[in-house]
Chain A
Amino acid sequence: MSAADIVRDGLWRRNVGLVQLLGLCPLLAVSTSLVYGLALGLATTAVLLGSNAAVSSIRRLVLREIRIPAFVMIIASLVTAVELAMNAWFHGLYRVLGIFIPLIVTNCAIIGRAEAFASRNGVMPSALDGLMTGLGFTLALVLLGSGRELIGHGTLLADADLLLGPWAAGLELRLLPGYGGFTLALLPPGAFFALGLLVALKNTLERRAAEPVSPALPVAAEGS
């Protein structure tokens, strides 16, 4: 598998959030704003990068029987380290994201990549796969968060100072002045609606791209 394939699969073709629909719990719960989505996405990316690299580097050492507990231990240690770091350096976000930081442990995308990719590939490809899978998940979180924040509040980038420091407090964009807000978009059902629309959009884009160049040809069987 080439590096370009890993990048394309992680970011788009097999995006864990939009195609594999893994890690839905944080994806739906935290994506109420662009900044929260971005923050949880980056935290998840850090864990994925670390866990893929670690799992790959011990892949020849681990017996088959203990690989799952060993992977879980690695992931749990990394998540706790990320949680401590966020508590120390991004305390405001840590308070807002709360339980969803430790719950990164239960994101099946992470153990999935450890088992399906990192335990069978070298350290560099595995690290790249972790990074790209994480960024793909971040992309899904950011798209969902932007959409829900815009429709729910009429703003974008609210609370950016929690992630970027006090200078970013002015980044908040009020794109729809006088907009009263639409609470449904911020509630859990709104998360499902938004995710459904996003998946539909992605499928439409892919179908367009996959259509044969010559209109004379009949539409071929749809890809996976």
Chain B
Amino acid sequence: MSGADKPAWRRAWIGAALLGLFAAIGAATLAITEHLTRERIAERQRAFELDSLHAVLDAGSYDNDPASDVVHVRDRELLGTDAPVTVHRARRGGRPVAVVLLPLAPDGYTGPIRFMVGIDADGTVTGVRVLSHRETPGLGDAIDADKSDWIEQFAGRSLGEPEQWLVKRDGGSVDQLSGATITSRAVVDAVRHALLYFDAHREQLFAAPTESGDR
């Protein structure tokens, strides 16, 4: 019995050791690639966020550099996360023009959706861009500005009219993405929450001293 088992055990150990070796080689390959690409990827991500920042603000309405005029705030209820949320501020001649919040939509179909929303000093949305998400390709991923212009419909909306914050299926006026009602609801609710947050903290947001550097 034990004599017959011995070679099988040996093979199992050798197999395990070999698999471990291949895993180590694979991990090393990935570590090297990650190291080589890390800086460039971070740079691309920053460039993309900067583009999005300019896309959600009305061009020419401000004369400061919103990318560096930054505070961080926390509000689990309205901003969708316990972590600090970045707020960029746009000003003209020192007077407040708009803020850009980077909250999370916590209840996307496959996890939180990170997005950027510009809100002018009157509480009207100037633009929304999704920064990262894992929604279903071909359905929910139409929230990306690259893939459809669904996200553009938020510009110009404000808290005044409640039906502007419900998708059509729920009796409102927001076009839902076909096949992705949950995704649509998640984004709509999160943008509305961001507006509520702005409404409650307008003065503090503009008055808070700029924090050095982005987080």
Nearest chain B CB to A1's CB is how many angstroms away? 27
A interface, over-half SS: helix
Partner of A80, one of B14, B30, B40: B30
Q: Does A184 contact B (CB under 8 A)?
A: no
Contacts of B30 in A (CB 8 A): 77, 80-81, 84
Nearest chain B CB to A177's CB is how many angstroms away? 23
Q: Does A63 contact B (CB under 8 A)?
A: yes
Partner of A95, one of B14, B37, B138, B146: B146
Contacts of B147 in A (CB 8 A): 96
B interface, over-half SS: helix
Contacts of A69 in B (CB 8 A): 19
Partner of A66, one of B19, B48, B144: B19
Stretch at the interface among B21-29, B72-80, B160-168: B21-29
Q: Does B95 contact A (CB under 8 A)?
A: no
In the assembled complex, the Cα of A61 lies from the Cα of B15 at a distance in Å of: 10
Partner of B26, one of A29, A73, A95: A73
Nearest chain A CB to B53's CB is how many angstroms away? 17
Bin chain A's interface residue count: 20 to 34
Q: A74-B26, A77-B26 are in contact. Are A88 and B41 (CB under 8 A)?
A: yes
Q: Does A197 contact B (CB under 8 A)?
A: no
Considering only residues 126-174 of chain B, those with a C-beta below 8 Å from chain A are 137-138, 141, 144, 146-147
Q: Does B214 contact A (CB under 8 A)?
A: no
In the assembled complex, the Cα of A62 lies from the Cα of B33 at a distance in Å of: 25
Nearest chain B CB to A153's CB is how many angstroms away? 15
In the assembled complex, the Cα of A100 lies from the Cα of B14 at a distance in Å of: 35
Nearest chain A CB to B83's CB is how many angstroms away? 23
Q: Contact at A96–B146, with CB atoms within 8 Å?
A: yes
In the assembled complex, the Cα of A66 lies from the Cα of B11 at a distance in Å of: 10
Q: Does A76 contact B (CB under 8 A)?
A: yes
Q: Contact at B26–A63, with CB atoms within 8 Å?
A: no
Q: Does B65 contact A (CB under 8 A)?
A: no
Q: Does B44 contact A (CB under 8 A)?
A: yes
Q: A65-B15, A66-B18 are in contact. Are A85 and B33 (CB under 8 A)?
A: yes
Q: Contact at A88–B22, with CB atoms within 8 Å?
A: no
Q: Does A91 contact B (CB under 8 A)?
A: yes
Q: Contact at A88–B37, with CB atoms within 8 Å?
A: yes
Contacts of A81 in B (CB 8 A): 29-30, 33
Q: Does B34 contact A (CB under 8 A)?
A: yes
Question: Residue-by-residue, is A81-94 near B (CB-CB < 8 Å gives 1, otherwise 0)?
Answer: 10011011101000
22 A-B interface contacts by CB (under 8 A): A29-B137, A58-B22, A62-B18, A63-B11, A63-B15, A65-B11, A66-B19, A70-B18, A73-B19, A74-B22, A84-B30, A84-B34, A84-B37, A85-B33, A87-B41, A88-B36, A88-B41, A89-B40, A91-B44, A95-B48, A96-B146, A96-B147
Closest 7 CB pairs of A and B: A77-B26, A88-B37, A88-B40, A81-B33, A91-B44, A66-B15, A84-B37
